[in-house]
């Protein structure tokens, strides 16, 4: 488990256009909210990301970039993003390295190995983790109020 106020592990992942996005792209510019989610097109993941979509103006007002991350291919994420009109970036951690580095991989998720746990990491502009929540039960939603509160403290 990553400690609060520790440096967030760097990553570079492909977005739904196949472009490479790195955590360091936002350093000094924006706070970052990483939303790890198990699988595109599943009910709880859709609910979580649509709730985030509907509150994007709030996150933007708090100088936060939302990055959704799953082990799905970026092709699958592109279809998911379009089907739900998501207005933030989805990143493919197909090789599972970023999920591993953040300590959020299920060993066994309904018979599948290496699926991301629903998790949230709020990272400040200096690249430090200021809030984290790792959910063991995939049907639980993250505490959006705590995400908002941690961003408010940074503004």
Catalytic position from the list 45, 115, 129, 151? 45
Longest CA–CA separation in the chain, Å:
42
DSSP state of 27: T
Establish whether 45 is a catalytic residue: yes
Task: Check if the beta carbon of residue 126 is closer than 8 Å to that of residue 109.
Answer: no
The b/e string for 16-31 (b: 16+ C-beta within 10 A; e otherwise) is: beeeebebeebbeebb
Q: Compute the distance between CA of residue 5 and CA of residue 46 in angstroms, rounded to an integer.
A: 30
Give strand ranges (E) for the chain.
12-15, 20-22, 31-36, 64-70, 89-92, 105-106, 115-116, 119-123, 129-134
**What token pair was written down for 68?**
């959704």
- Residues noted as catalytic: 45
């Amino acid at each position: 488990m990553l400690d609060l106020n520790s440096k967030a592990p760097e990553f570079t992942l492909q977005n739904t256009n196949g472009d490479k996005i790195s955590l360091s792209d936002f350093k000094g510019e924006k706070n970052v909210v990483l939303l790890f989610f198990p699988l595109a097109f599943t009910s709880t993941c859709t609910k979580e990301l649509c709730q985030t979509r509907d509150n994007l103006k709030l996150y933007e007002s708090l100088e936060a970039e939302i990055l959704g991350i799953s082990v799905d291919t970026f092709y699958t994420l592109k279809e998911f993003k379009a089907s739900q009109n998501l207005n933030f970036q989805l990143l493919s951690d197909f090789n599972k390295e970023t999920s591993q580095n953040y300590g959020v991989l299920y060993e066994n998720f309904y018979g599948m190995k290496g699926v991301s746990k629903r998790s949230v990491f709020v990272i400040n502009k200096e690249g430090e983790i200021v809030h984290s929540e790792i959910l063991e039960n995939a049907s639980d939603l993250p505490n959006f109020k705590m995400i908002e509160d941690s961003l408010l403290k940074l503004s």
